[in-house]
Amino acid sequence: MAVTTEQLAEEMYQMVKETMGKKNLKAGDLTKAMIAKYGEGEINKDDCKHAIRILMDSGRCVYSYFGGSFITLPHKEGSAPE
């Protein structure tokens, strides 16, 4: 593997940060983007799955729900922000 799982997690985190407020990303979007970047031979879905787990367990990102599940930055607790 050309990258470590921790690196993948960090890149996913950057991606979420950059698109925040513009587009909501799903787990599948992050996975597809990473595989596109590093190539099918280098990393696979399971690597991305582990990376997402690291990302979540570290608290850098959280899951959110707007009629479907998305991965976002943690933000202030409350109902859908108003």
Interface mask toward another protein for 18-57; x: CB under 8 A: -----xx-xxx--x-------------x---x--xx--xx
Checking 42-45 for CB contacts under 8 A at 24+ apart, the result is 42/1, 42/2, 42/3, 43/1, 43/2, 43/3, 43/8
**Which range of residues in 1-9, 10-18, 36-44, 73-81 is near another protein by CB under 8 A?**
73-81
3-state DSSP call for residue 64?
strand
Closer CB to another protein, residue 17 or residue 74? 74
Beta bridge partners of 75: none
CB of 42 to another protein, least distance (A): 19
Beta bridge partners of 69: 65
> What does DSSP assign to residue 32?
H
Interacting residues toward another protein by CB under 8 A: 23-24, 26-28, 31, 45, 49, 52-53, 56-60, 62-69, 71-72, 74-75, 77-82
